[in-house]
Amino acid sequence: MASSPKVVLVTGCSEGGIGNALCQAYAAQGCIVYATARRPESMNNLDHPTIHKLKLDVVEDDQVREVVKTIVDREGRIDILVNNAGMAAPGPLLDMSMDYTRQAFEVHTFAILGLCRAVAPHMAKRKSGTIVTIGSITGLFPLPFHGTYSAAKAATHSIMDSLWMECQPLGINATLVTAGFVKTNIIANARPHFHLPENTLYSSYVTKIYESLEVGRGSGSSVTGADVFAEKVAKETMKRNPPRNIYIGGQSVLFRFFMWLPRVLVLMFLWKKA
């Protein structure tokens, strides 16, 4: 007797991003996928018959509850939650406005908690389910001029470590994807809105700061394609006992090696490479 297809909820699914590729990868594996984004029209390329599109701003608690209720009412369950929605936050920490810093943490930390709290009770009732969160190698070691993003991702990693422990008695798996450099539009979308203040303390580093944006745009041989990234993540997280952590993407192996070195040496190396 064939098992029922898994029901997957993915956040941040605009075309050109990891979430969009993940939706296609899960659908290719036979899943029923609910793709979400703030602007539904940004997901127009998702035309697979088992992909359903819903509007969701992950920082809006009412929308989160409504989307989860809609899926559970239709399908009876959510088997896999993928916390993917994110935003770039380039620029020196000391130049970043507090509003923008708070926004980065809202998206990368508080929104994850909100989604987990909405979905976990349904998984706990069945003692089955997997929570997946897309982290970053910059959550392990921050990159210069990407400190806000790195700090938010570090918090994300800590949340997932705690969930991995606390979800065990509930029968729920928790998997952190420590993503390296992946070819997406996240930096390209943020760059038009990026500017340094006139009184920046880093006027002599302007060229380096703008060059640092190119790293996240997805160029060079050390960057992994979103489709390759998504295919592996989908296969690994659909397992009955998925891994606690998945390291994948450009330079993820290097950053994993860094964890064995004195932290100060790694930070000095990253600064000199900036």
Catalytic: which of 6, 26, 149, 183?
149
- Between 207 and 231, name the one with better pLDDT: 231
Find out whether 176 and 245 touch, Cβ atoms under 8 Å: yes
Interacting residues of 240 by C-beta distance below 8 A, sequence separation 6+: none
Main-chain phi, psi angles of 43, to 5 degrees: -110, 20
Beta strands (DSSP E) in 19-154 are 32-37, 51-55, 80-83, 130-134
Spatial contact of 137 and 178, defined as CB atoms under 8 Å apart: yes
Residue 2, in any domain of the structure: no
> pLDDT, tens digit, for every residue of 53-81?
999 999 999 999 999 999 999 999 999 99
CATH number at 45 reads 3.40.50.720
Tokens for 72? 């559970």
Cβ within 8 Å of residue 137, ≥6 positions away = 178, 179, 180, 181, 249, 251, 252, 255
Catalytic site residue 202? no
268: in domain: yes
Structural domain includes residue 17 = yes
Task: Please count the residues of the chain.
Answer: 274
Local confidence band at 186 (pLDDT 50, 70, 90 cut-offs): confident
Within-domain flag for 22: yes
* Segments forming the whole domain that contains residue 11: 7-273
**Once rounded to an integer, what is the mean pLDDT over residues 213-218?**
56
Full-prediction pTM beyond 0.85?
A: yes
> To the nearest whole percent, how much of the chain has pLDDT over 70?
94
Q: Which residues contact 268 (CB under 8 A, 6 or more apart)?
A: none
Place of tokens 């998984």: 123
Residue 100: active-site member = no
- Asked if the structure places residue 27 within a domain, the reply is yes
Q: Which two tokens stand for residue 86?
A: 């994110």
For residue 72, tell me if it sits in a domain. Answer: yes
Residue linked to tokens 């594996």: 29
pLDDT digits (tens, 9 = 90+) for 88-128: 888 899 998 899 999 999 999 999 999 999 999 999 999 99
Tokens of 92: 């020196």
The total number of structural domains in the chain stands at 1
Q: Does residue 180 belong to any structural domain of this protein?
A: yes
**What is the C-alpha separation between 167 and 190, in angstroms, rounded?**
34
Q: Could you say which of 6, 53, 153, 183 is catalytic?
A: 153
Q: What is the mean pLDDT of the chain?
A: 92
Q: Which pLDDT score, from 0 to 100, does residue 191 have?
A: 61
CB 92 within 8 A of CB 145: yes
Question: How does pLDDT run across 16-56, given as a tens digit for each residue?
Answer: 999 999 999 999 999 999 999 999 999 999 999 999 999 99
Query: Mean per-residue pLDDT for 141-158?
Result: 95
Task: Indicate the pLDDT class of residue 218, thresholds 50, 70 and 90.
Answer: very low
The tens digit of pLDDT for each residue in 89-100 reads 888 999 988 999
